[in-house]
Chain A
Amino acid sequence: MGRFFRFLLGQLGDFLLGIALTLLLFLFVEGGLRIAGYGDSAAIPPPRHLTAGFDPSTHIFEPDPEHPGGWRSTYSHDRSGEIVVPPRTSTRRVLLFGGSNTAGFPERVLEQALTAQGPQEYEVVNLGRAGYGSGRVAILFREALELLDPDLVIVYSGHNEFVEKSFAMDLEQAWSNPLIAKLAEWLERSLTGRLLRQWVQEREPSVAEYTRLQDWEAEYKKFADLPWEGTEKVWDAYEENLDYMADLAEQRGVPMLLCTPVWNRLSPPRVAVAPKELDDQEIELAERQHRRAKKLYPEPFRALLPQHDKDRVHIFDWGGPRRRLLEGRVQDPLPGLLPSSGWLSGRDPEFPMNQEWEPKVRAWYENLAWLRSPRSPAEEESLTRAVRLLGEALQHRPDDAHLHYELALARYALGERKLASEFAEAASLDHAPRKAVPLSNERVRRVAARHGGVQLFDSDRRFAEACPEGLVGWEWMVDHCHISHGAARALLEDMADEVLALLKEKQ
């Protein structure tokens, strides 16, 4: 027994010596890299936050060593994408929060519109980040409010609730083991870890390098079976996050402008799931009528109802990185567009230059032009029959977003124009939209109404009022949720008066 115990003790000693050697080797390489000047070198990628903004304890901003008193973000995967916030001066500071729409907002437009009123100077800091839903916006919001000391905050968030949830699910799956996650986080913070990680990434394609949309089909199918209770939970969390931000702003006495995000009415819904309590026979009857209706759709109509994401028009189909494509101007007029009225009248949507468009962009607009053109007798007959069948299908499945949308679109193709509420209903029934919908925008309005320090800026309603037929569509949008550069410019200019009024009230 004594011998065995001595043997075990010896093995433990060896094991500990092995661990010590491992650490020594690691420290040796780490120290060597630092001495060689790799500590601040661009040759090694900066550390990523593996929790990617979901961890409330993560610090997003760090003091900017180049501008004492200023801050810089530490979020991006590349240094060029970081946000640098200058030291606080007497200049009034406005912070913008949201997802990729906000990130693409030309914040200088708002800055200039505010400063033009004189004599006060303004700075607008754009903290919008692509892919951010209200969950992470709220975490960023709390820290920014504390560190950056804004005079006013603007929140334009609501398109990414399911996008963010999907990313959270991916992260949960990847880092489900807390020990592995801790070790990886630690490794990611070391120079050695990042250098080796870069080396691995250069040698085999990582997720980031999959460049074909087909590789991402699974991304869009994640919520294919999501019951309505799941959808409601996501919208509940959205409202809670907005409330949380409104509370924080009120506590600090910072006025908040809460916007309803603008969504595209003529972009089909994504997910329809039959309620559990629904009879199988009812589902089958609805499906049968739906199939029969589909067979009657004329080709351009069918093309406006893409079955796969690769057939939808996305912001990246307009070419190039977003910042660059925002600077372009379309050279040939796009077909199928109607003039807007009121505050949008005569404005240029500033679509990106068309040299880099995917062919499907122009094809999409051509189909849109077909939709708005007069029907041939044959088309009229088949669409009229389709409308009847879709109506019958809806009797069995009144919850189905696709049926509602297709019925509204078919009636539109037949010349009906007052269909805004039908398109709105279709969008609100979507179980996993990748855009704001009337249901979520109602929640925004509710949050604003609940908080005295929050002013609602109903961007979506403003657009709907000025858009042809009350339908915000492809005149001002480049996909299901992204507004065009000209639309963003118009929105920020429109917002300036409201911002000034709120700041005056604060004084």
Chain B
Amino acid sequence: MRRVFRFLRRHPLVWIVPVLVYGVLLIYLLTKLAHAPQDAFIYRI
């Protein structure tokens, strides 16, 4: 376990990349998807 932590400390990009992808990109995309314009919504018609 200690070796894993040491590795991650020495190679921060290995964990920063997944954190950024999941933390920023995914949340951004999901929010966008959840709020995507709706087509058949009644008030549009």
Q: Which residues does A use to contact B, with CB under 8 Å?
A: 10-11, 14-15, 17-19, 21-22, 25, 48, 50, 52-53, 77, 99-100, 129-131, 160, 163, 166-167, 170-171, 174, 180, 183-184, 187-188, 193, 196-197, 200-201, 204, 206-208, 210, 213, 215-216, 219, 314-316, 434, 481
Contact = CB atoms under 8 A, between A and B. Distances in A.
B24 interface: no
Dominant secondary structure of chain B at its interface with chain A: helix
Given A22-B18, A216-B43, A219-B44, A208 B29 contact: no
Nearest to B36: A174
A200 B37 contact: no
A18 B40 contact: no
Closest 10 CB pairs of A and B: A18-B17, A170-B37, A14-B13, A216-B43, A130-B40, A200-B34, A22-B18, A14-B11, A201-B34, A208-B38
A17 B11 contact: yes
B17 A15 contact: yes
Given A22-B18, A174-B32, 13 more contacts: A17-B13, A19-B17, A22-B21, A77-B40, A166-B44, A180-B28, A180-B29, A197-B30, A206-B38, A207-B38, A213-B43, A215-B43, A219-B44
A187 B38 CA distance: 18
Nearest to B33: A197
B37 A21 contact: no
Nearest to B37: A170
B35 A18 contact: no
A204 B34 CA distance: 9
Given A174-B36, A206-B35, A200 B13 contact: no
Given A166-B44, A200-B30, A18 B14 contact: yes
B45 interface: yes
Contacts of B14: 14, 17-18, 21
Given A174-B36, A193-B30, A160 B45 contact: yes
A129 B40 contact: yes
B42 A315 contact: yes
B41 to A, nearest CB: 6
B31 A208 contact: no
Contacts of A10: 11
Contacts of B31: 200
B12 A14 contact: yes
Contacts of B5: none
A17 B18 CA distance: 10
Contacts of B16: 18
B17 to A, nearest CB: 3
A96 B30 CA distance: 36
A208 B17 contact: no
